[in-house]
Amino acid sequence: MILAETPPLSSHIAGWLAGLVGTEPNWLFAAIGALVVSAAILLLVVTPVGLGGVYLERKLAGRMQNRRGPNRVGPYGLLQSLADGVKLLAKEDILQRGADSPLFRFAPYLVFMAAFAGFVVLPFAPGVVAADLDVGLFYFLALIALETVGIVMAGWSSNNKWSLLGAMREVAQVVSYELPLGLAAMCPALAVGSLSLVAITDYQAGPIWKWLLWRDLYWAIAMVPAFLLFYTAGLAAAKRAPFDLPEAESELTAGFHTEYSGMRFGMFFLPEYAMMLSLSAVTSVLFLGGYHDPLGLSAPGGMFAGVWWWGLIWFFLKTTFLFLSQIVLRWTLPRIRIDQVMYLCYKVLLPIGMGSLLLTAALRLLG
Amino acid sequence: MTTIQGVKLDQGERAAPALPRDILTEELVFNMGPQHPSTHGVLRVVLRTDGEVVHDCQPLVGNLHRCCEKILENLTYVQGLPYVDRMDYLGALNMELGLVLAVEKAAAVEVPKRAQYLRVIMCEINRVISHLFAAGQFGLDMGAFTPFLYMFREREEALTLLNEVTGGRLLYHYIRYGGVTRDVTEGWLKRCIAWCDQVAAHMDEYNNLLTYNHIFLNRTCGVAIIDKDTALRYAATGPILRAAGVARDLRKDMPYSSYEDFDFKVPVGPFDKGVVGDSWNRHRQRLLEIEESLKIIRQAVAKLPAGEVSNAKISRGWKAPEGEAYVASEAPRGEISCYFVSDGGKAPYRARMRGPSFYNISLLGETSRGLLIGDLIALMGSIDITLGECDR
Amino acid sequence: MMALRNWARAVWMGLKTTWVGLTITVPYIFRRPYTLQYPEEVPEIPPTERGLHVFEIDKCIACDQCSKICPVDCITIEAEGKGKTARIRTFEIDYSKCLFCALCCEPCPTECIHMGPQFDLVGYTRDEVIIDYADRENPRVFSGEEKIPFEIVSFSRK
Ligand code: SF4
Ligand code: SF4
């Protein structure tokens, strides 16, 4: 969100660095400046978001189960995730015998990168978007697939059969949920006529009935199924229960990350929450109007048109709601079996996806 | 629709498709346990699988072997009892009862009626919490964490109740030769009934959240069927046998400790979903048995006769007269029976315990063939073993 | 047609079962948690609890009955003299072995060893869980006149 205004910031840093050395700013300093800025963003914005997600999940799970959840570290246990992070950092980093060392070490980074890179295209508020790509939605879906590569790498290189099985399941799951996910994402894209997340958001400007989910009410017949589809497939993409098969702890001990310890494990752990968050955000952008409020105050000509903090609040509210719903679902439902995941994706979700895509196309043609 | 072991499945598709000849497939050998989360203790299972499909599976038991029977032969009668608790630590009172009944039969010891009723009450409470644990654990294996903790809430209350009378929360050392250690108070009986109401009130919650959850049904219905034949061939007992359609409950068939005084049903599978002897039926069986046990507790509390709780003739240095006896009784996991021989000495000459888990776990090999790994977990969870009693 | 009906039913059941599950779990978020905050909130321990032993040292006559009946031989007694004049030098209970069975309390002729309400004992080494009850500094050791500050239930079965 700072990135939109950051090119000057990174060039400031570049200029300052060049001044230190006493030369003109050149491409090297520009690159260093950009690196520093993105590292700072990762450290200051994204990681707290992930840690907050972990905290929320544990607290909510606790309350759902008649427990208290974390409440020891800091007020209301707020610093628990931080303490866990420190613990993970201090732990020994184990590389077991027989592991494929380069792959084993690289896999967590790939997963981490893929999960966090998705934040780049999210329109947090009017004008606050790191990169308004024309193919933002496509880019986001591609990143989800990239994460899989990291997971397969981790499973393969661990030299552990349970990890291998976890990786196998991940692949089986990916090939099944990618299709319905893509189809569901295509419905709003088709309705708007753009793959840019900003364009999709702004198409939904106005009061609540302008949201794509029930735009002018009659769109609901195509969009409600698409929304449910995207949400369900999104659960599978974020590897959340009931689709947490790649790590199914009661079946595969810990699935693909069985052998990881310390911060490398953290690198798998945090992206899960980042993924949930970015998926929730994209869901809210596609169907729930993104940063637009339900009263239409942020529509062009409205009271808060183009006000970034107003948009940010609504974006945050919608995303958090979806995020919380994912958590609540996880602690309510049992896990699905791997063949049932495929059954569900191919035989249930895919037809729904095709149906709603057809309906969307028809609605667009008609009006 | 596929058939497995001659039984048609109507829930979920699962066929392992025949692979073309030129695809090389290799069998994987998995070592599941002793540190696997779903082996419920220190069970080691060696699996041969083709990807996710289990070809063969062999449970290797004995990691928790403590020579329990030999220890019994080396200690005096009184000293041996706390050890029996440690066999099936989830149904400790039923274990105690198993040994005590055999010794009492061999020595022809009179047990006061009140003590018998108290034994029934305590053992049934123990059965309820053991079944709650098993059902919750099964949910946990299926990925449903929340019902497990809801069940633990009721279990916790029961442990408090038991603690008040027996002094222990897990290992009770309550049932002694000739009676029990301590009497109960009126207040305790009231709270006991209140607890029964509480469990009964939460039964719907468990059922709606777990038992009749559609995902759970899909995971367990028609999965890992142990039919009547197989169960009988492997001498399986307890909920497994009853869910397979055999109405065998020793509390009804060979009443001991005044069980004949109580009116209760023996639930027998199949129930309203799934096929007879599948994982879901075993789970449902336990929940239904909880309801029957609650009935027994209520009756026993209502009818509790006055009198002594212990036979005064049994003293600390008591020696059983020469003789032998075999008594079988119904523990939560199945038939616990004890063959006991005394040569008149201060320790038993032989005390052989037959624990149900050992026999039930041996079903794993035959039943698991052709299952997916996720189903194998369902099978193991629904068999519900305690390794302490399996390995002894 | 049949297949389509089954399909629609599966979709419907999936949605319904999720809804039913949520109606059970979500209200719990707003209820009071059941758990106790252990070190601050101590659970109520009934007097019958078979916790760490409580020992009345002046009553003990060093008769060795308790250590004889102990199934795991975890009581070690050393004393000068016997009977009323006995002076206990060591009375060690090894809690790494103890079964908490309360058998040691049963034969004691003077009823001087009891099971107390304390249930937590931790140590970094195995030696730390061997407790000497001849040590009068031990909070679970009481002299003859001292009143034990909690209810003691007799396990005696003489
Ligand atoms: S409680 Fe049992 S095991 Fe412990 S010291 Fe007393 S007799 Fe020995
Ligand atoms: S039995 Fe009682 S009196 Fe005898 S040694 Fe033990 S504690 Fe002392």
C140-152 confidence digits (pLDDT tens): 777 767 777 777 7
Q: Give the integer Cα–Cα distance in Å for A329 and A277.
A: 15
Instruction: Provide, as residue numbers in chain B, all residues whose Cβ is less than 8 Å from the Cβ of A333.
Output: 143-144, 213, 215
Amino acid of residue B367: T
| Cα atoms found within 13 Å of the Cα of residue B295, Cβ hemisphere only | 13
Q: What are phi and psi of A81, to 5 degrees?
A: -60, -35
- Confidence bin at B108 (pLDDT 50/70/90): confident
pLDDT at A2: 42
Instruction: Provide, as residue numbers in chain B, all residues whose Cβ is less than 8 Å from the Cβ of C103.
Output: 78-79, 82
Segment B250-261, tens digit of pLDDT: 888 888 888 888
Among the partner residues A60, A67, A333, nearest to C21 by beta-carbon distance: A333
pLDDT at A130: 67
Report the atom number in ligand 1 closest to the C-alpha of C50: 1
CB contact under 8 A, C25 and A331: yes
Among the partner residues B75, B215, B316, nearest to C107 by beta-carbon distance: B316
pLDDT at A304: 73
- Confidence bin at C83 (pLDDT 50/70/90): low
pLDDT at B128: 92
Select from C48, C55, C98, C105 the residue to mutate for testing ligand 1; criterion: most ligand atoms less than 8 Å from CB.
C98
The answer to whether residue C32 neighbours chain B at the CB level (below 8 Å) is no
Per-residue pLDDT for B87 more than 70? yes
Q: Which pTM was predicted? A: 0.85
Element (H, E) at B329: strand B323-331
pLDDT at A34: 67
The answer to whether residue B301 neighbours chain A at the CB level (below 8 Å) is no
Amino acid of residue A295: L
Q: Judge if the beta carbon of residue C141 lies within 6 A of ligand 2.
A: no
Q: Give the integer Cα–Cα distance in Å for B324 and B144.
A: 47
> What SS3 class is residue B182?
coil
CB B211 within 8 A of CB B283: yes
- Confidence bin at B33 (pLDDT 50/70/90): confident
pLDDT at B22: 63
In angstroms, the Cα distances linking C68 to B225, C64, C101 are: 52, 6, 14
The answer to whether residue B40 neighbours chain A at the CB level (below 8 Å) is no
Distance from CA of C100 to the nearest CA of B (A): 8
Ligand 2 centre distance from Cα of residue C83 (Å) = 10
| Buried residues in A308-339 as b, exposed as e (16+ CB within 10 A) | bebbbebbeebbbebbebbbbbbbbbbbbbbb
Q: Give the integer Cα–Cα distance in Å for B311 and C53.
A: 27
Low-confidence spans in chain A with pLDDT less than 70: 1-13, 25, 33-34, 37-38, 41-43, 128, 130-131
Per-residue pLDDT for B18 more than 70? no
Segment C88-120, tens digit of pLDDT: 788 888 888 888 888 888 888 888 888 888 888
pLDDT at B9: 41
Cα distance from N-terminal residue to C-terminal residue, chain A? 36
Select from C75, C76, C112, C141 the residue to mutate for testing ligand 2; criterion: most ligand atoms less than 8 Å from CB.
C112
Q: Judge if the beta carbon of residue C110 lies within 6 A of ligand 2.
A: yes
Q: Which residues contact C127 (CB under 8 A, 6 or more apart)?
A: none
- Confidence bin at B194 (pLDDT 50/70/90): very high
Instruction: Provide, as residue numbers in chain A, all residues whose Cβ is less than 8 Å from the Cβ of B13.
Output: 339, 343
Ligand 2 centre distance from Cα of residue A345 (Å) = 72
Report DSSP letters for A188-233, one per residue. HHHHHT---HHHHHHHT-SBGGGSGGGTTTTTHHHHHHHHHHHHHH
> In terms of Cα–Cα distance, which of A295, A292, A296, A284 is closest to A308?
A292
Per-window interface: C 51-80 vs B, CB < 8 A: 69-71
Q: Judge if the beta carbon of residue C65 lies within 6 A of ligand 2.
A: yes
The label of the residue with tokens 């599948």 reads: B278
> What SS3 class is residue B388?
helix
- Confidence bin at C154 (pLDDT 50/70/90): confident
Angle, helix A220-237 to helix A308-330, in steps of 10 degrees: 70
The answer to whether residue C46 neighbours chain B at the CB level (below 8 Å) is yes
The label of the residue with tokens 């994460």 reads: A147
Nearest residue on chain A to B137, alpha-carbon basis: A250
Mean pLDDT score across all residues of chain C: 82
Report the atom number in ligand 2 closest to the C-alpha of C63: 4
Select from C69, C73, C74, C77 the residue to mutate for testing ligand 2; criterion: most ligand atoms less than 8 Å from CB.
C77
ipTM, two decimals, is 0.82
Q: What mean pLDDT is predicted for residues B184-213?
A: 89
Mean pLDDT score across all residues of chain B: 84
Strands C141-142, C53-56: pairing kind:
parallel
Percent residues over pLDDT 90 in chain B: 7
CB contact under 8 A, A64 and C25: yes
Q: Give the integer Cα–Cα distance in Å for B187 and B185.
A: 5
- Confidence bin at B24 (pLDDT 50/70/90): low
Cα distance from N-terminal residue to C-terminal residue, chain B? 42
Q: Give the integer Cα–Cα distance in Å for B184 and B182.
A: 7
CB A295 within 8 A of CB A190: no
The answer to whether residue A68 neighbours chain C at the CB level (below 8 Å) is yes
Sign of CA dihedral A286, A288, A290, A296: positive
How buried is B98 (Cβ within 10 angstroms: 0-12 exposed, 13-18 middle, 19+ buried)?
buried
Q: Which residues contact B26 (CB under 8 A, 6 or more apart)?
A: none
pLDDT at B10: 42
> Counting ligands in written order, which one lies closest to the CA of residue C58?
2
Percent residues over pLDDT 90 in chain C: 0
The answer to whether residue B80 neighbours chain C at the CB level (below 8 Å) is yes
Q: Which residues contact B56 (CB under 8 A, 6 or more apart)?
A: B47, B48, B365, B368, B369
CB contact under 8 A, A332 and C24: yes
Angle, helix A161-192 to helix A350-366, in steps of 10 degrees: 10
- Nearest residue CA, atom 8 of ligand 1? C70
Per-residue pLDDT for B17 more than 70? no
Amino acid of residue A256: F
- Confidence bin at B125 (pLDDT 50/70/90): very high
Q: When comparing pLDDT for A48 and B74, which is higher?
A: B74
Q: Give the integer Cα–Cα distance in Å for A249 and A348.
A: 26
Query: Which residues of C sit within 8 Å Cβ distance of A?
Result: 7, 10-11, 14, 17-18, 21-22, 24-26, 28-31, 33-35, 37
pLDDT at B230: 87
